[in-house]
Amino acid sequence: MHDAIRLETSGIPTAVLVTTVFLHEAKVQREALGMTAIEPVVVTHPLSTLSNEQLDERAAEALEQVVHAWGGK
Amino acid sequence: MIYDPRGTIDAPVLHLAKRPANLRGLRIGVLDNTKWNGWKLEDRIATTLAQRLSLGPIKRYKKESFSRDARPELLAQIAAESDLVLTGIGD
């Protein structure tokens, strides 16, 4: 979250991926860092044990959220 | 006297970057946080969106460790070379 917030304050729209179990931590971090408006892109946990096919499914979960985070419609 | 051990957070308010009117042709920076499979997911998302939305080139970066912030020089480089960034936290 620190990296994303530093990039945002540098003027770069940043989509930050987080899995479901880390969403609470991400929200706590964004509040502690002062950027409550940043909305994480949330995908189902976990990632580390997934096959390529399962990663495709996770990517599909994220696509519209990433576009939204970047400011696209 | 009762003290609340949780404390309070009093950070200055930081604002999001201005969003572009149109994403077409914009350069994508992908920052790998070194978590296992993280870059694979980021790569899928970036390449799919680049094709669907006619985004600009994708450039990939890697930080030293997911447990540390990216170096300021790396973030400055990414900001200079990217219009949009995709990164990740957590597993």
Distance (Å, rounded) from C-alpha A59 to C-alpha B45? 6
Task: For residue range B7-46, list pLDDT tens digits in order.
Answer: 776 789 999 999 999 999 999 999 998 888 999 999 999 9
CB interface of B with A, residues 47-66, below 8 Å: 48-49, 52-53, 63
Task: For residue range A3-20, list pLDDT tens digits in order.
Answer: 999 999 999 999 999 999
pTM, rounded to two decimals: 0.93
Q: If we measure between CA atoms, which residue out of B43, B47, B45, B48 comes closest to residue B61?
A: B43
B1/chain A closest Cα distance in angstroms: 27
Task: For residue range A20-59, list pLDDT tens digits in order.
Answer: 999 999 999 999 999 999 999 999 999 999 999 999 999 9
